[in-house]
Amino acid sequence: MRTSVAAILLLIIITASAASAEMVSGIAAIVNDEIITYLELNNDYALALKEEEKRGTVTPDAAVKLKRQVLDSMIDRKLVKQKIKELNIVITEEEVRQSIEDIKRQNKLSQEALTAALIGQGITFDQYKAQMKEQMERLRLMSQEVKSKIQVGEREIREYYDANLALYREEPTYRARHIFLKVDKKASTEEIKKIMAKAADVMNEARSNSDFAALARKYSDDAGAAKDGGDLGTFKKGDMLPEIESAVITMKPGEISELVATPAGFHIIKLEERNEGKLKPFETVSASIEELLYKKKSEARFKQWADDLKKNAVIDIKL
């Protein structure tokens, strides 16, 4: 009886091993007359899974879904390669070499630095060359089958501009003055309270006195205040301390702020001018809009083209 159980267990192990071997070397999908093996699928899937795991835990359900997405992507690539072959699109070794040289030049990389960077990403230079060639073939296919059939008219460009005017406004600018009362880093709580009380008095005086610049010269601990009356100049968002910026962008011209505390001390701010961003003329942005619309149309057209390619193909998925 024991011998029989052992034999059954051995048979199960052998069968499972054979099935596993078949899964590794077997066919995951047939695309027209070309195959995608489980070995190829598992290699691509392992890379995709590694990338997903960098973003967080991958659940079993998500892993199954990811594997199917990887297979779908491989099928799409296979169809594109078949079309490239059918149309006799050829990228030479010299074209690939020149593209890589351009990339090295743009990024100021030596051959050794590029190779090291690629190894850091887990790929060899030869694999990178193969990927580059595939990408260039795909781009030429897109140009031949998709992009050459796309047009972007003047009317479309104008309509996009009119519908997205907010995108083509320059940033607002502000001009302000301030009165600055410095707080020493080693100041005690009592000293800080005294400076704050003085700042409050100056703020009230500023609100009742039209000559803010004179008050800045009189009270400000800013070294340049005696000469420029606390002038902060003209600035845009991101140019000033966050605390000052937060106060200024909510103010109206002529308005005087509440006390603004920064690590250096207390500020009293007067907004002198607020200039809303000017609208960029259509002529200066039409080229960039045309490029944007062309790219959107290209992507949509290529997706439709790829979907049609898939519909007309004979695909047998074994997964």
- HEC states along the chain? CHHHHHHHHHHHHHHHHHHHHHHHHCEEEEECCEEEEHHHHHHHHHHHHHHHHHHCCCCHHHHHHHHHHHHHHHHHHHHHHHHHHHCCCCCCHHHHHHHHHHHHHHCCCCHHHHHHHHHHCCCCHHHHHHHHHHHHHHHHHHHHHCHHHCCCCHHHHHHHHHHCHHHHECCCEEEEEEEEEECCCCCCHHHHHHHHHHHHHHHHHHHHCCCHHHHHHHHCCCCCHHHHCCEEEEECCCCCCHHHHHHHCCCCCCCECCCEEECCEEEEEEEEEEECCCECCHHHHHHHHHHHHHHHHHHHHHHHHHHHHHHCCCEEECC
pLDDT score, position 172: 86
23 pLDDT band (50/70/90 cuts)? low
Q: Do 39 and 22 form a contact (C-beta atoms < 8 A)? A: no
2 pLDDT band (50/70/90 cuts)? very low
Residue 194 has pLDDT above 90, yes or no: yes
pLDDT score, position 24: 52
| Torsion sign over Cα 278, 282, 284, 290 | positive
Residue 305 has pLDDT above 60, yes or no: yes
Average pLDDT over residues 35-53: 90
Residue 7 has pLDDT above 50, yes or no: no
Residue 20 has pLDDT above 70, yes or no: no
Residue 255 has pLDDT above 50, yes or no: yes
pLDDT score, position 121: 85
142 pLDDT band (50/70/90 cuts)? confident
Mean predicted lDDT score pLDDT of the chain: 86
Average pLDDT over residues 228-250: 88
pLDDT score, position 277: 80
CA distances from 176 to 14, 89, 169 (A): 82, 62, 22
pLDDT score, position 149: 81
Report the percent of the chain where pLDDT is more than 70.
92
pLDDT score, position 303: 85
Residue 92 has pLDDT above 50, yes or no: yes
Residue 18 has pLDDT above 80, yes or no: no
pLDDT score, position 298: 87
Average pLDDT over residues 49-65: 86
164 pLDDT band (50/70/90 cuts)? very high
Average pLDDT over residues 60-73: 90
Residue 15 has pLDDT above 90, yes or no: no
Residue 21 has pLDDT above 50, yes or no: no
